[in-house]
């Protein structure tokens, strides 16, 4: 076996020069020290990780070390890290990056993360891994910065795109990589074009909708590994083969993907305890609820379900969107509309909101409250202020600094954080172990992301989750049929994503909405919803027996 050997010729030239200038010559002790450093710092074997030795202040979990070893030794530094939410994908990525840097294989690094995570990545890499990073601000120097954290949107924008594509990166990390699942998007093309030696894609949901999601992600890492897109479609769709009936595919995927589940990590996870809090509407509220429902049922062009849902959250949410709807109608304001609006206006505090106040007052613990609507968020903030309960709000649209500040305020001063859905990704709130789903998302994945904010590695207490649901409303159907029946709260979601994709149910939320829209009676919608969950349920049972793809 022949192998090129490169000699350090420049040293000889430098030596001949240096030897003429006594000031450049080292004394004996220093000469020895330099040799000792080399002996100490060398990477002695292809296999064992050296990074943990250099990070004595970090305690890695066994699955994190194993992940790093697997990626470096068997995957040659190109991998899909698909641990379930909260198992420390960032830690794994940091460890792998550090190891490559220590081995002298990586200098230039690009890390693409959602805007809400930029600061957190910088903080973790700096503090935990002692890796100095730069975040892409207004003035960003793509050429001369070694380790840069940016967002996909900034990077692919017309202003920066070309410059970035001209760089040769040693290492590229993309967090929340499910944004690359579609090979026809700009995101995908951009990442595909990046010049990269090593690459990590991080996502908790490698298969979000379709099996092609994972095909596309893997094709970014190792083009051709699963064949071409056409091959793949032919093989896995036309023949209608189920994923878990294809052990070959499963094995292939396992060579480029690390997926740890909570249950396999062997680490003690704190329990999650679920409590549903049933809240009755007052008679007046119930009347208005039906009023809204009737109003939009008559207006056949538009579905009532959106407004009814909003009404279950807060008067404000519903009121504002009805207003908006009215404005969009070109015709003059109808008396019926005004009547409806004024009946909403006259309502006292929302029953759920009052229940929330009651619950918060009965405890000294910190709570994070999730709502689907901004109007509800503002209303709750105002109400809590009236009740002298200190709270902060959190939205995805906040600037970086404001987010960090809100998180800190919550940790040190406030009892409650009221967050909208956008807060779902990214922030870690392990210091809090009470979560209230003030209203429920109709997509279970989003629910898991909410819970994942607090029920993750680092949480020391059992986590308690309260679900608010209004009796005799659409809330109740969704809670009973969608959530309770398929045990979504108890089971960490894991294989649900798989099931939904096998069932060709890419968007469960839309599915549920459609059921409500298309049903002519409550009974009909119940039956349909029941059918839907039965399918999922039977699939779940069958699934337990079989081994899973992922």
Partner 1 sequence: MITNLHNFLHQYFTIHDCEVLTENQTEMTIRLNRELDQVLMNRPFYWHYMDKIGRQGEPMSLYLDTSTENKDNNREWIHFGSPRLQQIFHHIKTNARFTILYEETDGDTKTALHPWLVTNIMVHYCGKQKKESVHSIGVQLINGVMKTDMMNHMDGLSMDRRMSDYSFTISPIIKPVSGFRRIFHYLENELLEEDMGWVKQSTDALNEEIQLLDYFFHQQEENKEILEKEQERLTERLQPRIEIEIINAGLFYLTEEASQLIIKD
- Using CB under 8 A, list all residues that contact partner 1: 1, 3-8, 11-12, 14-16, 18-19, 22, 24-47, 53-57, 72-73, 76-77, 103-105, 130, 132, 168, 192-193, 195-198, 219, 222-225, 227-228
Is the Cβ–Cβ distance between 474 and 305 less than 8 Å?
A: yes
Nearest distance in Å: CB 16, partner 1: 7
Rounded to the nearest 10 degrees, what angle do helices 351-361 and 374-386 cross at? 50
Nearest distance in Å: CB 88, partner 1: 19
Nearest distance in Å: CB 113, partner 1: 22
Is the Cβ–Cβ distance between 473 and 292 less than 8 Å?
A: no
Nearest distance in Å: CB 115, partner 1: 27
Nearest distance in Å: CB 227, partner 1: 7
CB nearer to partner 1: pick between 198 and 370: 198
Nearest distance in Å: CB 189, partner 1: 9
Mention every residue, 6+ apart, whose C-beta is less than 8 A from residue 52: 58, 60, 65, 95
Is the Cβ–Cβ distance between 275 and 466 less than 8 Å?
A: yes
- Residues 489-516 as b/e (b if ≥16 CB within 10 A, e otherwise) read beebbbbbbbbbbbeeeeebeebbbebb
Nearest distance in Å: CB 457, partner 1: 20
CB nearer to partner 1: pick between 215 and 466: 215
In this structure, the strands spanning 257-258 and 78-81 are parallel
How far is Cα 281 from Cα 349, in angstroms, rounded to an integer? Answer: 11
Mention every residue, 6+ apart, whose C-beta is less than 8 A from residue 418: 369, 371, 377, 380, 381, 384, 391, 392, 393, 394
CB nearer to partner 1: pick between 223 and 390: 223
Is the Cβ–Cβ distance between 140 and 148 less than 8 Å?
A: yes
CB nearer to partner 1: pick between 20 and 138: 20
CB nearer to partner 1: pick between 22 and 523: 22
Which of 198, 131, 201, 139 lies closest to 168, judged by CA? 198
Nearest distance in Å: CB 236, partner 1: 16
How far is Cα 430 from Cα 459, in angstroms, rounded to an integer? Answer: 5
Nearest distance in Å: CB 4, partner 1: 5
CB nearer to partner 1: pick between 17 and 547: 17
How far is Cα 125 from Cα 130, in angstroms, rounded to an integer? Answer: 6
Q: Where does residue 164 rank: exposed (0-12), middle (13-18), buried (19+ CB within 10 A)?
A: buried
Q: What's the token pair of residue 481? A: 């049929």
CB nearer to partner 1: pick between 132 and 348: 132
Q: What is the DSSP track for 306-337?
A: HHHHHHHH-HHHHHHHHHHHHHH--SPPPHHH
CB nearer to partner 1: pick between 31 and 382: 31
Which of 423, 419, 455 lies closest to 439, judged by CA? 419
Nearest distance in Å: CB 60, partner 1: 13
CB nearer to partner 1: pick between 20 and 504: 20
CB nearer to partner 1: pick between 228 and 329: 228
Nearest distance in Å: CB 2, partner 1: 8
Beta pairing partners, 292: none
Q: What's the token pair of residue 251? A: 């094995």
Q: What's the token pair of residue 511? A: 């599915």
Q: What's the token pair of residue 298? A: 């008559």
CB nearer to partner 1: pick between 168 and 283: 168
Nearest distance in Å: CB 428, partner 1: 21
How far is Cα 367 from Cα 417, in angstroms, rounded to an integer? Answer: 7
CB nearer to partner 1: pick between 34 and 143: 34
Query: Residue 202 is inside which H or E element, if any?
Result: strand 195-202
């Amino acid at each position: 076996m022949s192998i090129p050997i490169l000699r350090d010729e420049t040293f000889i030239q430098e030596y001949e020069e240096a030897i003429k200038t006594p000031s450049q010559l080292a004394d004996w002790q220093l000469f020895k020290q330099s040799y000792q450093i080399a002996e100490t710092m060398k990477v002695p074997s292809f296999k064992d990780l050296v990074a943990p030795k250099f990070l004595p202040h970090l305690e890695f979990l066994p699955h994190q070390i194993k992940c790093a070893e697997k990626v470096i030794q068997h995957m040659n530094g190109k991998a899909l890290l698909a641990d379930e939410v909260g198992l420390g994908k960032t830690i794994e990525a940091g460890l792998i990056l550090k190891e490559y840097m220590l081995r002298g294989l990586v200098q230039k690094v690009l890390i693409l993360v959602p805007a809400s995570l930029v600061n957190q990545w910088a903080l973790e890499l700096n503090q935990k891994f002692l890796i100095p990073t730069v975040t892409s601000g207004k003035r960003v120097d793509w050429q001369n910065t070694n380790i840069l954290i940016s967002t996909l949107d900034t990077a692919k924008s017309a202003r920066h795109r070309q410059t970035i594509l001209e760089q040769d990166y040693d290492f590229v990390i993309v967090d929340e990589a499910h944004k690359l699942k579609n090979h026809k998007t700009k995101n995908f093309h951009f990442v595909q074009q990046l010049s990269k030696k090593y690459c990590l894609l991080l996502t908790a949901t490698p298969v979000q909708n379709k099996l092609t999601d994972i095909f596309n992600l893997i094709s970014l890492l190792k083009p051709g590994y699963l064949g071409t897109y056409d091959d793949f479609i032919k093989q896995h769709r036309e023949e209608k083969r189920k994923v878990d009936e294809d052990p070959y595919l499963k094995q292939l995927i396992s060579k480029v993907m690390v997926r740890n589940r909570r249950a396999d990590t062997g680490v003690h996870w704190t329990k999650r305890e679920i409590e549903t809090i049933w809240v009755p509407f007052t008679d007046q509220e119930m009347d208005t609820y039906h009023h809204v429902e009737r109003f939009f049922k008559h207006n056949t062009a538009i579905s009532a379900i959106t407004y009814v849902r909003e009404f279950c959250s807060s008067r404000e949410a519903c009121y504002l969107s009805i207003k908006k709807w009215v404005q969009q109608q070109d015709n003059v304001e109808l008396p019926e509309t005004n009547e409806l609006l004024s009946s909403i206006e006259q309502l006292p505090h929302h029953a759920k909101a009052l229940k929330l106040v009651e619950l918060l007052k009965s405890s000294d613990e910190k709570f994070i409250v999730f709502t689907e609507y901004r109007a509800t968020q503002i209303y709750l903030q105002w109400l809590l202020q009236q009740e002298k309960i200190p709270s902060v709000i959190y939205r995805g649209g906040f600037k970086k600094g404001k987010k960090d500040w809100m998180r800190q305020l919550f940790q040190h001063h406030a009892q409650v954080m009221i967050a909208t859905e956008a807060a779902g990704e990214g922030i870690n709130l392990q210091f809090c172990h009470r979560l209230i789903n003030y209203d429920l998302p109709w997509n279970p994945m989003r629910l898991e992301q909410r819970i994942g904010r607090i029920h993750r590695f680092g949480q020391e207490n059992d986590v308690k989750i309260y679900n608010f649901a209004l009796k005799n409303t659409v809330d109740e159907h969704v809670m009973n049929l969608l959530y309770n029946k398929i045990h979504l709260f108890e089971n960490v979601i894991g294989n649900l994503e798989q099931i939904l994709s096998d069932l060709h149910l890419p968007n469960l939320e839309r599915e549920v909405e459609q059921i409500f829209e298309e049903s002519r009676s409550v009974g009909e919608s119940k039956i349909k919803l029941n059918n839907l969950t039965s399918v999922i349920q039977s699939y779940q049972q069958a699934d337990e027996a079989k081994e899973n793809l992922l």
